Structure 1
Amino acid sequence: MQKWEWHICLSRWRHLQRQFFNGRAEGWGQYDYFNGDQYIGEFKKGLRDGKGTLNLKNGTRLQGDWIADEYIGNTDAFQSSAVGCVQGNCQSGEGIYVYPEGQGKYVGTFLSGVPHGEGTVFYKNGSRYQGQLEKGQLNGYGSLYHTDGRLTEGFWNNGKFTGKRPTQQVFCSRCQQRYPTRRS
């Protein structure tokens, strides 16, 4: 596939400058909104995703990490000495947990003090997992973004990638039933 850099005017945005891949914004780019706001940063699959800065018209600046068009904060801002729950409710709610010795960070939902539900794991080597977790393990559908640009997307079971489809088979109880024949 070929990458293109486009400069176009849209009705929603005053000016849009970014690279497109398969019809979606990809890589580093800039949005200039009609209302005066401006976003400069990374895009993935057409959404703000990765490092970026949103400068609002009122002077507010949101700089840090974005996932699927949502601002999640500056996860690099936490000092290496700050470990544990550094923001939010890491017992039963949403929060940010920094692991000891720079092993990584988790941003997402917690249940009984353990990552559980939707979240993002930032690993020490720079890769990140975004998706479902269960009892602290990658479990369910998720995407692992490798540092070399590869993407492993699909289903996970107890921290291991199982593939594009769930490993369990689902049976329809109706299909096992016999339907009565018509009586005359």
Structure 2
Amino acid sequence: MIQKQLKHKTAGEYLTFTNAKGSQMHYVGQVKNGKANGFGVAILSTGSRYVGDWKDNQRNGEGSFYWADGEYYTGHYVNDKRSGKGTYHWPNGEKFVGFWKDDERTGEGAFYGKKGDLVASGVWNHDELVVTNKP
């Protein structure tokens, strides 16, 4: 992600818009047709921020989203939702690595504890572990 940021270090345009969830976005980055398109950074009115790819004012492609409480997600987005492969981190060191669809863990994935130990892995559906892999 840092390499992409350095590649697009040129000054971008500034936009303010409201996302589908009602948060105001302050965006700096590539703009096409008056909307966030390409690589850019947005600070949300909630205190969260997103750094990554955009399409028509929506997160789309590779990116990282940082919540104000210290949680963060790095991975793929489709139509403003986590979809595809990604990793979700909690401030205490726990993480989930796997696949997402429409902002929910869906598909193969693994949950790791604070010390990096595997806690559970298998197939997830709508954010729930439905098939556990045998050790």
**Secondary structure of 1:125's match?**
coil
**Alignment pair present for 1:93 and 2:38:** yes
Percent of aligned positions that are identical: 24
- Distance, in Å, in 1 between the alignment partners of 2:5 and 2:51 is 8
Distance 2:54 2:4 in 1: 19
CA distance in 1, matches of 2:90, 2:5: 20
- Relative CO higher for 1 or 2, CA cutoff 8 Å, sep ≥ 6? 2
1:84: Cα distance to partner? 1.0
Cα offset, 1:164, TM superposition: 1.8
Q: 1:71 to 1:92 in 2, by over 3 A?
A: closer
- Number of paired residues? 90
Q: Deviations over 1:82-109 (max 9, x none)?
A: x510x2126111000111131x000000
In 1, are the aligned partners of 2:46 and 2:68 still within 8 Å (CA)? no
| Distance of 1:98 and 1:147 partners within structure 2 | 20
Q: By percentage of residues, which structure has more strand?
A: 2
**Separation of aligned partners in 2, 1:150 and 1:164:** 17
Residues 37 and 57 in structure 2, CA contact (< 8 A), matched pair in contact too:
yes
CA distance in 1, matches of 2:101, 2:89: 17
C-alpha displacement of 1:71:
7.9
Task: Return the index of the structure with the highest Cα Rg.
Answer: 1
With structure 2 as the length reference, what TM-score do the two structures score?
0.58
C-alpha change, 1:109 and 1:156, in structure 2 (3 Å) is: same
Equivalent AA in structure 2 for residue 152 of structure 1: F
Structure 1 runs not aligned, ≥5 long: 1-66, 74-82, 168-184
Give the whole-Å Cα distance in 2 for the aligned partners of 1:158 and 1:71: 25
